[in-house]
Structure 1
Amino acid sequence: MMLEGIMTDNVVTADAASFLSIANKSRNEIESVKFEPPKIGGKGFGYFRVRMKTRHYEAQ
């Protein structure tokens, strides 16, 4: 099995669980974090926009 990787920009959108994982693994790579609150009547609990210091690869 071969995975394909892509180079992403340095902004990651994450839910709370994903944000905690990123913060634990890559704390030194985080430049800034902005919480986007949920929309009234919408689904979900909001999300985090995490700006990383460098770009990174993601496997698909």
Structure 2
Amino acid sequence: MMKLEFSIYRYNPDVDNAPRMQDYTLEGEEGRDMMLLDALIQLKEKDPSLSFRRSCREVCAVLMV
């Protein structure tokens, strides 16, 4: 297994006095590529307070049948 480390800029004005960096670690399979979106989804599963926007505009046609 490969260890992937992420530092994410966090700020919630309702809770935090100032922005901060928060570190996360994921385990990745050796020799398997991981897209950043895959990593963000896994991080959100570990910490539901994370939030990000994503959209597929079908530009790459990967999902077309």
Check whether TM > 0.5.
no
Q: Give the structure-2-normalised TM-score.
A: 0.28
- Which structure has the bigger radius of gyration? 2
Q: Give the structure-1-normalised TM-score.
A: 0.29
Q: Which has the higher contact order (CA 8 A, sep 6+)?
A: 1
More helix by percentage: 1
